[in-house]
Amino acid sequence: MSGINYVTQETLDQMKEELAYLKTTGRAEIADAIKEAREKGDLKENAEYDAAKEAQGLHEAKVAQLETAIATARVIDLKSVDTSKVSILSKVKVTNLATKKQFVYQLVSETEADLKSGKISVTSPIGKGLLGMHAGETAEIVVPAGKINLKIEEISI
């Protein structure tokens, strides 16, 4: 991930809430699972114990990732987003010139990206290609499948 993680206040609040849950309830649930598995006998051949310890490692990695994301978070106020050009948190209506299909993307940080809801990361190929562009311009973007040309129809919040 990049050095600064730009997020909305809503996303920062969600990350803090998830971190609090993971540090309290999540850790307690994993500790209970380890305790229960430990009571079942020989730890060398106890697959349940191994699975619980692995789950603990994954859990702690998630906690560390969230802590880093929160520590590097910078809240962006939607009112301060410049809609004269594409920037983080902009909603961009584009037309794929090859297929004539239109899409609306919102450029967000890596942690907020969710293609199903139309949110793409500013560090993705399309996000990088659109950043700084103005309405009416065409962006030629190199993606894994080749090159695409996206015409920027509209920029909003």
Give the pTM.
0.67
CATH number, domain 79-156, options 1.10.1060.10, 3.40.50.2300, 3.40.50.300, 3.10.50.30:
3.10.50.30
Q: What is the pLDDT along the chain (157 residues), one digit of tens a residue?
A: 457 778 888 888 999 999 999 999 999 999 998 888 888 877 777 788 888 889 999 999 999 999 998 998 888 877 777 788 998 888 999 999 999 999 999 998 887 888 898 999 988 999 999 999 999 999 999 988 899 999 999 998 8
Domain-wise residue ranges, the chain: 5-75, 79-156
Measuring CA to CA, which residue among 104, 96, 108, 100 is closest to residue 139? Answer: 96
Between CA 86 and CA 136 the distance in angstroms is 12
**Residues counted in the chain:** 157
pLDDT at 2: 53
In the chain the first and final C-alpha atoms are separated, in Å, by 24
Domain 5-75 is found in CATH 3.40.50.300: no
